[in-house]
Copies of this chain bind each other. A is one copy, B any other.
């Protein structure tokens, strides 16, 4: 069982569209305007910092982040994948795993920074059409329990 904290949004809700859940963590897809390839890996227990995890838990958590990263790289061919655990607003350990494209509104800035250009709805839709495949790949990697590695 997970520790949970009253009033914490990530204890009360999945935090996105559920793709995978295990005892320890879950992967969700996030609906965020302009960033169709946006996922979160959320630790189920209410801890704030990565250093609250044991080495084994940390390996499991970062392994899941890598499963999502590789699925994005393989199927969406982004310019870069961005990883971030901030938690200033919701101090419950969650990793943003975001496929970034050189045509997206903010590239090369962080998604929290200044926009650089208008949205490209056609390209966003083309990415969106691949998400079922990405989700299946994420589930496949996590079910296998072996973290994929870039060749």
Contacts and interface: CB of A to CB of B under 8 A. Distances in A.
A102 to B, nearest CB: 9
A125 interface: no
Interface stretch (A19-27, A33-41, A65-73): A65-73
Interface string A79-102: 111111111110100000000100
A73 B88 contact: no
Number of this chain's copies in the assembly equals 2
Give the contact-size bracket for chain A: 35 or more
A84 B83 contact: yes
Nearest to A86: B82
Contacts of A80: 48-49, 86-88, 91
Given A49-B81, A54-B149, A79-B88, 20 more contacts: A49-B69, A49-B80, A50-B83, A51-B73, A51-B149, A55-B147, A59-B59, A80-B86, A80-B88, A80-B91, A82-B85, A83-B85, A84-B86, A84-B110, A88-B109, A89-B108, A110-B112, A110-B113, A112-B113, A113-B113
